[in-house]
Amino acid sequence: MSSVAQKRGFGATLWDWLTTVDHKKIGILYLLGGGFFFIVGGIEAMIIRLQLLTPNNDLVSAGIFNQIITMHGTTMIFLAAMPILIGFMNAIMPLQIGARDVAFPFLNSLGFWMFFFGGVFLNISWFFGQVPDAGWTSYASLAMASEGHGVDFYAIGLQIAGGGTLLGGINFLVTIINMRAPGMTYMRMPLFTWTTFVASAMILFAFPPLTVGLFLLTFERMFGANFFDPTMGGNTIIWEHIFWIFGHPEVYILILPAFGIFSEIFTIFSRKRLFGYSAMVFATVLIGFLGFMVWAHHMFTVGLGPTANAIFSVATMAIAIPTGVKIFNWLLTIWGGSIKVTTPMLWALAFIPTFVMGGVTGVMLGTAPLDYQLHDTYFVVAHFHYVIVGGTVFGILAGTHLYWPKMFGTMLNETLGKVTFWFFFFGFHLTFLIQHWLGFWGMPRRVFTYMDGQGWNSANVISSVGALLMAIGITVMVYNIIVTSIKNVRVANDPWGDGRTLEWAIESPPLFYNFAQTPLVRGLDTVYIEKMEGNLSGITPAEPVQDIHMPNGSFIPFMLSLGLFIAGFGAMFRTEEPWGMAVLVIGLVWTFAAMAMRSLKDDLGYYVKKEDILKDMKRKGGQK
Amino acid sequence: MSDVHVYKKSPAEFNLGQRRARKSMRGQIMMFSLMIFLTIMSFSMVMAYQADVIGFSKYLIIPTLMLFAAVQVGLQLYYFMHMNEKGHGIPQMFMYTGVIFAFVVVLTFLTIVWW
Ligand code: HEM
Ligand SMILES: [Cu+2]
């Protein structure tokens, strides 16, 4: 959006958002889409905790409980956490490297719409009353036994959404490799850009196994194949391997971008450069690499034998080393800094101990003999919520407060932000700390209820109360967002006052072409360097003002994803409804027609005229 | 439109370009012949095995075929997809990373998971 308020009709605005290829707007779309699914997943979580509040509860039946936990996990990981992180990557990473957009703006928009339609596809299952119920891991023996179309919704919905994620990952890789501003060497990239890079590389390598696995599952369930059925010569364990070869890298895809956001926060609000920058980069890459070598730690109890268990145990523990390097570097970044405890900084400070606790329980679970005791108990539930909520979700909430002004041009209220923090932080530990003990006391995970008199009652009550506190925290944040948007008090380039990287040297929100002149990067924290040398604009331009080439918007990504969405229903009802086959064909033809349209019609983009850029620059009166 | 600069090559540059192109052409033709040679070899080995020629056992042919296949992939990538030229470092890095991951996974299954 340009900085001049333009009056436009609702239809035109909607069309603009449906066809946009601007990375900043797509970032916002991801945030909205992911935020919506976060609320949906949150409501499911509240129902789970309500059901487990008392022993022998019958609020929901066992079958519906299975559906709710499955959808909670799937939604939170694939439709909330990943998209929101991808939203931040979209909105911020190109600004950090001084680029005007991502490398493939069209693919970027396609990625978003595929995620969106995939997510809608998954959740439409609720309206059919046939919901995935084999767990977010959808182990094949459960998935094959699941009746109705539930697991089909899982397989096809994730296939579509996963394709979108893969497109996003490739796009970010190419962007970072090719579109860095002059002077932005790899070792001058801000940490959030680095973590985006490594997470994207992990997406590149981890999502194809998921795609393959989901295809096998789709064919198994819908087209009569027998990959996983032992009575037909298949092997159910294969699915577990494929899933975890994807699944363990996936959890690091979730945590690395959050690490990046926290690294930015620590430097900004400690007003120091990041301690041990190169060690941080190295640790990030190493975590990304090792993340592919440990998948079998989810399968210790499958019976791989002592050799495999021992080797995977050691490999798993090795990851704690680069993670520890990061923790110490963050601590040393804060050490001796001039600390400002803003809302993002509060989240970051709380993240360190919380995440360390999750890492320690991870190493405990990585010890194969101990895992035989703890596997499939609430201890595992506690572990992954400590890392995923304490790491990823804290990171998302911190990032929301940190980057809100950059993305929307208004500042979220700090007091309300701190209220959100305290409710959520306290509620989180109340909910999940006690679950470690529930695990020790033998409460299995994924049970829909439990008998009285096993000593689990009060722990479950405590856990449910904590969940309520978290919900209150999120509600306060939603209120904060609404109030802030209504008040609409505009902020300047660097509302936090201590921005060190390029995104803080341009408007909030940036003009649609981001940089009037591509900046020259002179070191790590380039804006900080410029400011210390008296250049208040924070940017030294690398080029004269000249025409800027920009991509045109396109409606094709929306239509293409819609085609896949339609084909999904056809595949599912192919054999049992007369219209099934026709819908499958129509959907695929629709998709290919959209692809053909994109390939055959040249779209060369357009130029922003030099005069218009000069006009924009004069209006903001800054940079010469 | 933005300002378009037309760049004229000097005769020396032009010659250099020609010489480089000729050299790369020579390399490609040589590699192409080598690939055809390897293919013929592979086929004749299998034919020989089927005709029960002495000395052409399965245990010789299968590893040799695999080796040839690997060489062919390498030639394809380096000569015909130009990975031997400058500016391909990043694609190489990603490809080798992928190869290492795939190798480790297969190795794991073959050594400690299934047997
Ligand atoms: C020091 C680092 C870590 C170690 C050693 C570790 C180890 C483990 C182990 C051994 C398990 C399997 C437990 C079982 O099922 O019996 C597990 C489960 C899990 N971990 Fe971690 N972990 C670490 C970090 C993380 C991080 C950073 C995340 C995500 C952000 C994560 C997410 C998960 C999830 C989601 C599960 C449960 C999967 C399921 O069965 O549904 N872990 N972890
Ligand atoms: Cu894992």
Complete DSSP assignment for A350-380: HHHHHHHHHHHHHHHHHSHHHHHHHTTBHHH
Judged against a pLDDT cut of 70, whether residue A2 lies above it is answered with no
Closest CA to A144 of A51, A252, A60, A239: A239
pLDDT score recorded for residue A107: 95
Assign A138 to helix, strand or coil. coil
pLDDT score recorded for residue A444: 96
The C-alpha atoms of residue B59 and residue A185 are separated, in whole angstroms, by 51
Average pLDDT for residues A570-595, to the nearest whole number? 92
Structure tokens at B107: 């190795």
Give, for ligand 1, the residue of A256, A325, A364, A384 to mutate: max count of ligand atoms closer than 8 Å to Cβ.
A384
Residue A547 sits at the chain B interface (C-beta within 8 Å): yes
pLDDT score recorded for residue A254: 96
Question: What's the start-to-end Cα distance of chain A, in Å?
Answer: 22
Tell me A78's DSSP state: I
Give chain B's largest Cα–Cα span. Answer: 72
A137 lines ligand 1 (CB under 6 A): yes
Query: Are the C-beta atoms of residues A89 and A172 closer than 8 Å to each other?
Result: yes
- Where does the pLDDT of residue B55 fall: very low under 50, low under 70, confident under 90, or very high at 90 and above? confident
pLDDT score recorded for residue B103: 92
Q: Mark yes or no for CB contact A292/B104 under 8 Å.
A: yes
DSSP sequence for chain B? -PPPPP-PPPHHHHHHHHHHHHHHHHHHHHHHHHHHHHHHHHHHHHHHHHTT-TT--HHHHHHHHHHHHHHHHHHIIIIIS-TTSTT-HHHHHHHHHHHHHHHHHHHHIIIII--
Structure tokens at A464: 């449910």
Judged against a pLDDT cut of 90, whether residue B10 lies above it is answered with no
- Comparing A88-102, A437-451, A519-533, B66-80, the range with the smallest average pLDDT is B66-80
Residue with tokens 């008199």: A453
Closest CA to A493 of A506, A511, A510: A506
Residue B37 sits at the chain A interface (C-beta within 8 Å): no
The C-alpha atoms of residue A134 and residue A144 are separated, in whole angstroms, by 9
Cβ partners under 8 Å of residue A247, min gap 6: A137, A295, A298
Residue with tokens 């979108």: A164
Neighbours of A310 (CB within 10 A): 12
Query: Are the C-beta atoms of residues A562 and A569 closer than 8 Å to each other?
Result: no
**A472-509 pLDDT, tens per residue?**
999 999 999 999 999 999 998 999 999 999 999 999 89
CA distance A621 to chain B (A): 25
Assign A451 to helix, strand or coil. coil
> What contacts 24+ positions apart, CB below 8 Å, involve A249-252?
A249/A202, A249/A205, A249/A206, A249/A291, A249/A292, A250/A77, A250/A206, A250/A210, A251/A291, A251/A384, A251/A387, A251/A388, A252/A199, A252/A202, A252/A287, A252/A288, A252/A291
Q: What value of ipTM does the predicted structure carry?
A: 0.83
Q: Which ligand is nearest to the CA of A380?
A: 1
Residue with tokens 């694939």: A78
pLDDT score recorded for residue A5: 47
pLDDT score recorded for residue A624: 37
Query: Are the C-beta atoms of residues A579 and A573 closer than 8 Å to each other?
Result: yes
A82-91, A526-535, B64-73: which has the highest mean pLDDT?
Answer: A82-91
Q: Which ligand is nearest to the CA of A199?
A: 1
CA distance B77 to chain A (A): 20
A2-6, A421-425, A547-551, B70-74: which has the highest mean pLDDT?
Answer: A421-425
- Comparing A205-209, A322-326, B48-52, the range with the smallest average pLDDT is B48-52
Which residues of chain A have a CB within 8 Å of the CB of B90? 177
Q: Mark yes or no for CB contact B97/A201 under 8 Å.
A: yes
The C-alpha atoms of residue A77 and residue A53 are separated, in whole angstroms, by 24
Look at the alpha carbons of A519, A525, A527, A530 in this order and tell me if their dihedral is positive or negative.
Answer: negative
Closest CA to A253 of A134, A328, A168, A362: A168
Q: In this structure, what are the phi and psi dihedrals at residue A204, rounded to the nearest 5 degrees?
A: -60, -40
The pocket of ion ligand 2, defined by CB under 5 A, consists of A 248
The C-alpha atoms of residue A315 and residue A367 are separated, in whole angstroms, by 11
Closest CA to A90 of A542, A406, A395: A406
Average pLDDT for residues A87-113, to the nearest whole number? 96
Average pLDDT for residues A187-205, to the nearest whole number? 96
Q: Mark yes or no for CB contact A296/B113 under 8 Å.
A: yes
Q: Which ligand is nearest to the CA of A240?
A: 1
A320 lines ligand 1 (CB under 6 A): yes
A363 lines ligand 1 (CB under 6 A): yes
Structure tokens at A390: 């304490």
Residue with tokens 């795939």: B102
User: Which residue's C-alpha comes closest to atom 37 of ligand 1?
Assistant: A384
Of A422 and B115, the one with more pLDDT? A422
Judged against a pLDDT cut of 90, whether residue A224 lies above it is answered with no
- The pTM assigned to this predicted structure is 0.92
Tell me A174's DSSP state: H
Which H or E element spans position A347? helix A343-366
Judged against a pLDDT cut of 50, whether residue B99 lies above it is answered with yes
Helix axes A306-334, A277-290, angle to 10 degrees: 160
Query: Are the C-beta atoms of residues A284 and A303 closer than 8 Å to each other?
Result: no
Residue B96 sits at the chain A interface (C-beta within 8 Å): no
Residue A292 sits at the chain B interface (C-beta within 8 Å): yes
The C-alpha atoms of residue A416 and residue A593 are separated, in whole angstroms, by 49
Q: Mark yes or no for CB contact B2/A245 under 8 Å.
A: no
- Comparing A81-95, A449-463, A569-583, the range with the smallest average pLDDT is A569-583
Tell me A410's DSSP state: B
Closest partner residue to B113 (CB to CB) among A293, A304, A549 is A304
**A57-70 pLDDT, tens per residue?**
999 999 999 999 99
Q: Determine the Cα angle at B55 with ends B60 and B44, to 5°.
A: 70
The C-alpha atoms of residue A85 and residue A76 are separated, in whole angstroms, by 12
The C-alpha atoms of residue A246 and residue A241 are separated, in whole angstroms, by 9
Q: Mark yes or no for CB contact A307/B90 under 8 Å.
A: no
**A362-377 pLDDT, tens per residue?**
999 999 999 999 999 9
Cβ partners under 8 Å of residue A543, min gap 6: A517, A518
In whole numbers, what is the pLDDT of chain A averaged over residues?
94
Residue A188 sits at the chain B interface (C-beta within 8 Å): no
CA of residue A381 to ligand 1 center, whole Å: 9
